[in-house]
Structure 1
Amino acid sequence: MSQVFSRLLCTSLLVICCVRSSADNPNIVVILVDDMGYGDPGCFNPHSKIKTPNIDSIARDGMRFTDAHAPGPLCHMSRYGLLTGRYPFRTDVSRWPEQPLIEPDQLTIASLAKLAGYNTSMVGKWHLGFQENGYDKSLPGGPTDCGFDSFFGIRASTDIPPYFYIRGNEAVAPPTDKIAGHHSPGWHSNQGEFWRAGGIAPDLKLHEVLPRFTDEAIQVIQEHASNDGNKPLLLYLAYPAPHTPWLPSEYFAGKSGAGSYGDFVMMVDAQIGRVLTALEEANMTDDTLLVFTSDNGPCWYDVDSERLGHDATGEFRGMKADAWEGGHRMPLIVRWPGRVKSDTVSDQLVCFTDFLATFASVMGVPLPEGAGPDSFNFLTALTGQSADDTSVRNQFVMRAGSLPSMMTIRSGDWKLITQLGSGGFSKPKLIEPVAGGPSGQLYNLADDPGETTNLYLQYPDIVAQLTMDLNQTVEEGNSRDSGSDVSSVAVDRSTLTGKVMCGYQGWFNCEGDGAQLGWKHWARNRKQLFAPGNVTVDLWPDLSEFDPDELYDTGFENTDGSPAKVFSSNNRKTVLRHFRWMQDYGIDGVFLQRFANGLRDKVVLQNYDTVLDHVRQGAEQTGRSFAIMYDLSGLKAGEVKNVRDDWQRLSSEMRLTEDAAYQQHDRKPIVAIWGMGFGSKSKPREYSLAECRELIESLKEDGFSVMLGVPTGWRKLERDAIPDPQLHEALKLADVISPWTVGRYRNEEEVAQHMKKHWRPDQRWCDQHELSYMPVVFPGFSWHNLHGGDLDSIPRQKGKFLWSQAIGAKQAGCEMLYVAMFDEVDEGTAILKCTNQPPTGNGGKFLTYEGLPSDFYLRLVGKAGEMLRGEIPRTKEIP
């Protein structure tokens, strides 16, 4: 038994007890190719001059990741991060030629799989070092000492001597012969049929290595299927190609449009096809999670692209070893039949270090403390199902391949490189800064994926923030949040039970945000500057965390005389930030408001769809959930059908409800309809109850759950409800009832009365009719600037008012809550971060959070969810 496995076994008994039956776990096959670029496979680059039918077939049957990164842009750096879940800059990777990079007690994907009851095998290129004492002796520190039951492969690349095969930890035959160095005319010195001079074993022929590894991998698959089918298999197949030397067989010579490199890529693709066939013949395909990717960028120069018309890195700049995207942005595909939807694409930020945490979640094994410090679980991006220890990667840190002083950090759309130049094989590797010029590189990858425009001097605040984040990641030694806060766990999207959901208006626009809607919901006259005298909001958001490209100047001034700024919901970065706040404080998700009276306005509808797209991304990236809520307010007779038409477009054409993050109830996607049953005989709404009922029936027929936003007096057909008994018959068709309560009570005493008079009997009525019940709670209310009412007309009482409602709902037996609202600063009901120092001056008065921290209400709503689910005790005092 290897040293690492022995130590892990002794210290992980609790882990083993928690592991589900190994029969429930899929086989895992990781195929890592060598030096293949993002632009080589046809499924990532439709203009590729290389045919890759087998890789393309994996993409057709699985999920492509468009923002996946090697943890380092060189072979040994990338492999270290892949196996250990730790950034390679945290160790001395230069010692690999003589010493192992992986420590004896360091967890790897293989030793993790052993704990979960897997058979583990590796075939191919190791390149992570052995304890070298001569090749006629054993080679400690390799794969079999890092969790693999078996290993057949080579020490490093097929251009780095000595060249010999290894089985287990012994050389099959020592490298007693000699081979002269070689390179190809017409290519750069490190391209073509390039290999270095050195020792070589008599039984190893360089052109036979690639197919030999395929033979070995197929044998592993066949033996596993025949001998030990009850235990799942982890196979790590690390091909040493299309790394140099480029040695395509005669069959592939001249077949591509990218020279001998492209021919060799085609040969690699064919070898992968043999592995896929072996899995199929062994009846293992349906039970196997298959990962395909490359270790780093290709060795491909600009002159190669110009000469052959093939961009091996696609649209990205740079190549192998570079800090630029071409050095480390990799083609990544995951196929898992029945769990990962076929022919799908994810833009989730992923690093190879994330395989460890993700495989742990797949296997049902908690990561031991300290293991995989830079590994984030992206299982939710694959399947949408919640998993223990799920964290979402928002940043990525890397060291350049040829310049140890050059570091890179990626955060959101922004990428900072700490020095000038490529840091790798592209020229120039390093550029010394000049006086008055930038000393580093800053790119916005959303606008500039080719990294052509350096924004380092234009955005000093972003440079400062990213530099601080980078230093923190390097110094702390752990980039993954190791806490047990609920925010680190993705929510279960299958039910609303136990959820605290917020209303998300998403209706704030600014001049210059691209929506062409002016200052909508900030100003009374949206076509004029949002300034004193032209204002509708009663709270001012805290923007201290926002980046400059999220801020829009107003006509107001801060207390220091600087221009006051606000945000736009049309800005993707801002919506994603809001969702990160939800994740940070354990808020489950949102109902995105979609106002039906704007569906026929093309400009407004485009803005609705833009915000919806941001929300979809935010929920996916943070493990939160979202659902659509249509607000019928303002519709005329006959216009409810507009909602039906729009929902069909969202659910069918935009495939909204297929999102893993889309909220369900009773395991069916839920759509909320707000505004049914409001009015009276003297003041009815123009759209009819019959129209609403027809909409509900059609939604139910199509297999959706329906939530109805109804008046407070819905049960007794009084107060704000229409006095029509047919309302009850229509409500019985729904799945969830949610009565509106904003403004219906004003203090803690009235909350207690409301609970007794409404929530408790409402809950009983819903229980009797097998409906779920979701009361609405709110933190306070004010619409002074919007309607001229009293400022702070329903005081927040430093959170006591909101907390009393959460307590009342729990006492009434309610199992879910709707918080009005996340971002509603218009009427003073927002819970997002708001400032205690709003702008000063005439023409607008603003509330504060009474001196409380700006995140107070986010935290309080998160605690309300914990209390609702019984995770913390129900106490009158605010936790």
Structure 2
Amino acid sequence: MPRRACLSCLLVLLWLVGASQIIAAPPNIVVILVDDMGYGDPTCFNPNSKIPTPHIDSLAREGRRFTDAHAPGPLCHMSRYGLITGEYPFRTDVTRWPTEPLVQQDTFTLATLAKRAGYRTAMVGKWHLGFKESGYEHRLPGGPLDCGFDSFFGMRASTDIPPYFYIRGDRAVELPTDHIDDQFSDGWSKIQGVRTLSGGIAPSLKLPDVLPRFTDEAIEVISGHPQDAQEPLFLYVALPAPHTPWLPSSEFAGKSSASLYGDFAMMIDAQIGRILQALTDAQMADDTLVVFTSDNGPCWHPADVERFDHDAVGGLKGMKADAWEGGHRMPFIIRWPGHVAPSSTSEQLVCFTDLMATFASLLGVELPPQAGPDSFDFSPALLMQADLTSTQPAPMREQFVMRAGSAPSMMTIRSGDWKLITQLGSGGFSPPRIVRPGPDDPAGQLYNLAEDLGETTNLYATHPDIVAQLETELRSIMDAGRSRSVSARVDAATLKGKVMCGYQGWFNCEGDGADLGWTHWSRNNRRTMGPGNVTVDLWPDLTEFTEEERFATEFQLADGAPAEVFSSANRATVLRHFQWMQDYGLDGVFLQRFANGLKSGAMLEHKNKVLAHVREGAAQTGRCYALMYDLSGLRGGGVARVYNDWHGLVQTQGMTKDAGYVHHEGKPLVAIWGIGFNDGRKYTLEECQRLIASLKDDGCAIMLGVPTGWREGVRDATNDPLLQEIVAMADIISPWTVGRYQTPAQATNHGEAFWTPDQQWCLQHEIDFLPVAFPGFSWHNLKGAELDAIPRLGGEFLWSQVVAAKQAGCEMLYVAMFDEVDEGTAIFKCTNNTPVGEDIQFLTYEGLPSDHYLKIVGQAARTLRGEIPLRTSLQQ
């Protein structure tokens, strides 16, 4: 009672704050998972259903229906694995379940999470995730008790999979010493009706009694939970129906219009009603979050739809085990009085794996790094107000990946409205399972679910760009071992609110396969990198790098070990860099694409390889990226190659259709850097104007990298009037400032003297403004200049520019650079353990951690967006 009183005290506050909930006391949680019930079975999801489901419907009236919720696999054991672990089941060998536990020791589970939040945990029903079996007379390790549950009563698998016996805790209640024969039903397929496979059975166990017995046990758990308990209750009820055998009791026989199946589904609904009534009787209903769903699609053929006029998948295609929607799109309802709006609906894409991150968010538990790798917090979509026409939260999950139930080689990825199935056929129980494509047939299936939820029109052949994009995303998710970072994606629809970094990606090593030697590490790239042949002032921290990513130089560290560097040609290294961006909250990068390296040959091949890695890294980590063409070094007439390169990338590779490619004002963004400088460049402003006009004709948004004095034609800028005409064509203006000031005080003055009037001018001309900040500068090994010419001051120099940009009213920021160790401007992980030797000098991070500047830039992004207050100093 006291917990309920505390909770109700904040009721008004909770409704006001919507998705940003404050939970005074954790609720009881009851997860009800039924077995093989289709999306179209409950009448609250399908008004034409022939199966009355009053108790499931009551949950929908009192809670929120999710209409785009999915099982992580279209079979029982696959689905349950994802629900319990927050991990896609394709990441493990689910076929091991008959003799081995699928959930490995020390895996963080839903029950582990609940225990960490102070819950008493209980499970009742069908486990189907395996035990370490060595005879049923012995303890059964690896089950619920070893996965965080305090108690368990249930069965090892379905009621048509022998042997049949009850388990309490980790011991058989009664050994399966009797025998039962195969049973099937006339007029039904082999996967329907009273299907029961022969095998051992406990003498006192009667299969028709299993469903009500599990309900009785669940009610006993609820009624036995003290009302004044300090521990809330977490109860997972896995009811084994309407999975075969269909065994409705006499009370329900013949009561539905969907024959034996419908009668059994009615009985399931009644059991759910008994559980809900038990919560009411125990005075727990108001304090309990109830989740209802099914583990996978039904065993219901198209012929059954015609025969009984009941569509168990509610207009979807397919059935249990299929890659089609009927196999995995599930009825999904959450009721939580006072927190979830009654009679409400959400179209948010949800997977069962998401319960872990969502519960963690609601209960204030921080998930360990390895926990719930495919789990996303959908609590904003759960807790928002009933008026869905108002501010809808940004999507929490944008992708969903699944392996088909009966075709291990068939994978499915859903991204936005698009769904790709990698082969032809159902991949499950619907015939044909696999179709071998003919010479002119598509290799797989592509559907736009927003326009074709029934998956009737295969668009695979007509949208190769979408197929390629989804294949890249799928490969990234499968290779990464986790997807949470993929779907927690930065909004690439605008540059506003972003802190972007420049990404050079121009480092090569001898032996990296690019045939470019030690480019950008050394002065002579064909000589070994070592003393006297080096151009960088910072040394990368390779502590986390694999052996394949490391390239030894002739420099030595203080302990005598060879100093090593990385190559940007290495896929794993670029993906690692993007993982750092995700880890520290960096929004993304402008990939530098120097125009003087766009001729055919090894340099262009390297640039294209790095671009491919960046695209994959952005997809894998949910970061965004855009191309920045640097015109530096071009001769007269050379600017035209930029358009040819851009046009080729867009047309042949579909780059701008990547989910992570930055758009601005609805148009793909391309940056052109190096326009209007007065340093004697060979290419002309007329060339630049023609380039920009062509790109705008193609529907691009243009960001121009210009000199600091661009607005008045002073300092580093030409005073040619044509520069002003070009500036007027831009969508974003970004003045270069590296080296233009050297101390925090000078940075503050620069912001007042240049950025503030620049920002005001841009507002007047409806152009956006992107200032450039940098952490420090050094040109010692590259140019022979003073080491640490512009000191970093522990990050205060960089932060002073963040403050200046914020105070000037800027809505975006460019940090130069992510990886440029050449000029000492890198913000990625660099080491304090640099090479040593006579006349050898390198910068360090002043003894600070190697991720110090990544953290600062992450804080800058949050500050710029107003997520945290502005601090005028890092020490504040």
- Considering the TM-score relative to the shorter chain, is it more than 0.5? yes
Alignment partner for residue 430 of structure 1, among 408, 429, 434? Answer: 434
Residues in 1 aligned to 2:95 and 2:736: alpha-carbon distance in whole angstroms: 67
Match of 1:186 in 2: 187
Going from structure 1 to structure 2, the CA distance change for 1:558 and 1:782 (only over 3 Å counts) comes to farther
Q: Is contact 2:357–2:375 with CA below 8 Å preserved after alignment?
A: yes
Give the aligned residue type for 2:78.
M
- The Cα shift of 1:783 comes to 8.8
Matched-pair contact (CA < 8 Å) for 2:406–2:428: yes
**Aligned equivalents of 2:657, 2:62: Cα separation in 1:** 30
What letter is aligned with 1:781? C
**1:77 is matched with which residue?**
78
Q: Residues 304-323 of structure 1 correspond to what in structure 2 (within 5 A)?
A: 304-323=304-323
- How far the C-alpha of 1:863 sits from its partner, in A, is 2.8
- Tell whether the 8 Å contact from 1:777 to 1:805 is kept in structure 2 after alignment: no
Corresponding residue for 2:860? 863
In structure 2, C-alpha distance between the alignment counterparts of 1:864 and 1:805, rounded to whole Å: 13
> Any residues of structure 2 matched to 1:803-822 within 5 Å, and which?
none
Match of 1:235?
A: 235
- Are 1:119 and 2:120 matched, yes or no? yes
Corresponding residue for 1:465? 469
Contact 1:777–1:818 (CA under 8 A) maintained in structure 2: no
Amino acid at match of 1:89: F
Paired residue type of 2:334:
V
Q: How many residues align?
A: 571
Counterpart of 1:308, as a letter, is F
Say if 1:304 and 1:813 are closer, same or farther in 2 by CA, change over 3 A: closer
1:399 and 2:380 correspond = no
User: Which string of whole-angstrom CA distances, capped at 9 and with x for unpartnered residues, describes residues 495-536 of structure 1?
Assistant: xxxxx979xxxxxxxxxxxxxxxxxxxxxxxxxxxxxxxxxx
- Evaluate the alpha carbon distance shift between residue 580 and residue 194 of structure 1 in structure 2; reply closer, same or farther with a 3 A threshold: farther
1:588-607 to 2 correspondences below 5 Å: none
Q: Secondary structure at the match of 1:322?
A: coil
Deviation track 1:660-715 (CA, whole Å, cap 9, x = no partner) reads xxxxxxxxxxxxxxxxxxxxxxxxxxxxxxxxxxxxxxxxxxxxxxxxxxxxxxxx
Q: Does 1:781 align with 2:781?
A: no
Give the CA deviation at 1:229.
2.1
Q: Quick one: distance in 1 between partners of 2:149 and 2:376?
A: 23
Q: Distance in 2 between matches of 1:177 and 1:332?
A: 38
Structure 2 counterpart of 1:411, from 408, 415, 418: 415
Inter-partner Cα distance in structure 2 for 1:777 and 1:206: 78
Gaps (5+ residues) in structure 1?
Answer: 1-19, 489-499, 503-541, 548-556, 582-741, 760-774, 787-791, 823-829, 832-858
Query: Is the 8 Å Cα contact of residues 802 and 860 (structure 2) preserved in structure 1?
Result: no
Task: Indicate conservation of the 8 Å contact 1:60/1:342, yes or no.
Answer: yes
Change (3 A) 1:575 1:45: farther
Q: Which moved more, 1:30-39 or 1:435-444?
A: 435-444
Q: 1:223 to 1:421 in 2, by over 3 A?
A: same
Displacement after TM superposition at 1:337 (Å): 1.2
Q: 1:57 to 1:812 in 2, by over 3 A?
A: same
| Amino acid in the other structure paired with 2:347 | D
The alignment-based identity, stated in percent, is 57
The letter of the residue matching 2:263 is D
8 Å Cα contact 1:501-1:818 kept in structure 2: no
Structure 1 position 121, deviation (Å): 0.3
Mark the CA change 1:756 to 1:480 in structure 2 (over 3 Å): closer, same or farther: closer
Q: CA deviation at 1:751?
A: 12
Deviation at 1:436?
2.4
Aligned counterpart for 1:447 among listed residues 423, 441, 451: 451
Counterparts of 1:580 and 1:378, CA distance in 2 = 28
Q: 2:353–2:372: 8 Å Cα contact kept in structure 1?
A: yes
- Structure 2 counterpart of 1:154, one-letter code: M
Query: 2:261 and 2:134 mapped to 1: Cα distance?
Result: 36
Following the alignment from structure 1 to structure 2, what is the Cα–Cα distance between the partners of residues 250 and 212? 16
| 2:344 is equivalent to residue 344 of structure 1 | yes
The equivalences for 1:383-782 within 5 A come to 383-384=383-384, 392-481=396-485, 558-559=643-644, 778=759, 781=762
Post-superposition CA distance 1:836-868 (Å, at most 9, x none): xxxxxxxxxxxxxxxxxxxxxxx9998364266
The one-letter amino acid paired with 2:250 is E
Q: Counterparts of 1:795 and 1:189 in 2: how far apart (Å)?
A: 67
Question: 1:564/1:182 Cα in 2 relative to 1: closer, same or farther (>3 Å)?
Answer: closer
TM-score (norm 1): 0.58
Deviation at 1:746, TM superposition (A): 15
The whole-number CA distance in structure 1 between the counterparts of 2:302 and 2:452 is 19
Say whether the 8 Å CA contact 1:122–1:143 is kept in structure 2. Answer: yes
Q: How does 1:276-291 map to 2 (within 5 A)?
A: 276-291=276-291
Cα–Cα, structure 1 residues 213 and 580, in superposed 2: closer, same or farther, change >3 Å? farther
Counterparts of 2:164 and 2:189 in 1: how far apart (Å)? 23
1:845 aligned partner: none
Q: Please give the alpha-carbon distance, in whole angstroms, between the structure 1 residues aligned to 2:871 and 2:113.
A: 36
SS at match of 2:446: strand
For residue 356 of structure 2, what is the amino acid of its counterpart? L
Other-structure match for 1:224: 225
Which amino acid in 2 is paired with 1:173? E
Distance 2:418 2:359 in 1: 28
Q: Are residues 98 and 580 of structure 1, via their aligned partners in 2, closer, same or farther at CA, if it must alter by over 3 Å?
A: farther
> Does the CA-based 8 Å contact 1:62-1:344 persist in structure 2?
yes
Determine the structure 1 residue equivalent to 2:42: 41
| Aligned twin of 2:67 | 66
RMSD of equivalent CA atoms:
4.6
Note the C-alpha offset of 1:578.
6.5
- CA drift of 1:433 comes to 1.0
Q: Residue 819 and residue 256 in structure 1: after superposition, are their counterparts in 2 closer, same or farther (change >3 A)?
A: farther
Aligned to 2:138: 137
Change (3 A) 1:27 1:754: same
Q: 3-state SS of the aligned residue for 1:123?
A: strand
Hey, what does 1:159 align to over in structure 2? 160
1:23–1:231 contact (8 Å) kept in structure 2: no
Question: 1:348, CA displacement in angstroms?
Answer: 1.0
Who is 1:196 aligned against? 197
Cα distance change of structure 1 residues 287 and 575 upon mapping to structure 2, 3 Å threshold: farther
**Cα distance in 1 for residues equivalent to 2:663 and 2:288:** 36
Letter in 1 for 2:176: P
Match of 2:147 in 1: 146
TM-score (norm 2): 0.58
State how far apart, in whole Å, the 1-side matches of 2:661 and 2:267 are.
42
Where does the alignment leave 5 or more consecutive residues of structure 2 unmatched?
1-20, 386-393, 499-610, 620-641, 667-731, 775-795, 815-855
- Find the aligned partners of 1:473 and 1:805 in 2 and give their Cα distance: 34
Residues 22-74 of structure 1 show CA distances to partners (whole Å, capped at 9, x for unaligned) of 98211110000000000001111111111111101111111111111101000
- 1:155 maps to a residue whose letter is R
Alpha-carbon offset, residue 782 of structure 1 = 8.6
Aligned equivalent of 1:16: none
Q: Structure 1 residues 33, 576: closer, same or farther in 2, change over 3 A?
A: farther
Q: Which residue matches 2:785?
A: none
Kept in 1: contact 2:179–2:200 (CA 8 A): yes
Are the structure 2 counterparts of residues 865 and 368 from structure 1 closer, same or farther at C-alpha, using a change threshold of 3 Å? Answer: closer
Shift of 1:392: 2.2
CA contact (8 A) 1:23 1:232 kept: no
- Matched residue SS, 1:224: coil
Residues in 1 aligned to 2:403 and 2:146: alpha-carbon distance in whole angstroms: 27
Map Cα deviations across residues 314-344 of structure 1 (whole Å, 9 max, x no partner): 1210000001110001111111111111111
For the residue of structure 2 that corresponds to 1:43, the secondary structure is: coil
Structure 2 residue matching 1:145: 3-state secondary structure: helix
Equivalent-residue separation in structure 2 for 1:255 and 1:776 (angstroms): 77
CA contact (8 A) 2:736 2:772 kept: no
Partner of 2:374: 374
> How far 1:394 sits from its partner (Å)?
1.2
